[in-house]
Amino acid sequence: MRPESIAAFEATFFGSLALGVLQSALQWQHLAAVASMQFVVAIQCTVFAVLIFILGVSRGRSTWAKRFLMLSFALGIPATYHLLMQNGIAIPTILALMQTSIQAIGLGMLFTPSTTAWLGGSRR
């Protein structure tokens, strides 16, 4: 049985993805004006990949997916900082900061003793 911390991890990451969708919707006109269709497709593929990694950790007990999510989070920190410096305190920036905070909480759930034991356990 999955520990509660894994369910909380899954919920926080799905919640952060929902905030990302909201952020994209609020900035759609700006994104459409400055981004190509290839960029939009690349972003959608990235979001789909993140969903797969979330499910890989929460359903498949994948430690490499856990590591990938941690690396992706770490690589995203400079982008959040850049957004804050570029836009100041605006709604998209606040949403990005909320999204980053929620992801940090979710990643923290992966280091609880019950999750560590569960990820290290055998599959049934």
In tens, the pLDDT along 114-124 reads 998 888 865 54
How confident is residue 22, by pLDDT bands cut at 50, 70 and 90? Answer: confident
- Cβ contact 6:106 at 8 Å: no
Domain ranges of the chain: 4-119
Instruction: Give the mean pLDDT of the chain.
Output: 84
Q: What is the predicted pLDDT for the residue at 37?
A: 73
Q: Which 8-state DSSP code applies to residue 124?
A: -
Question: Nearest 5°: CA angle at 65, between 78 and 110?
Answer: 80
In tens, the pLDDT along 76-111 reads 898 888 878 887 788 888 888 899 999 999 999 999
Q: Which 8-state DSSP code applies to residue 46?
A: H
How confident is residue 21, by pLDDT bands cut at 50, 70 and 90? Answer: confident
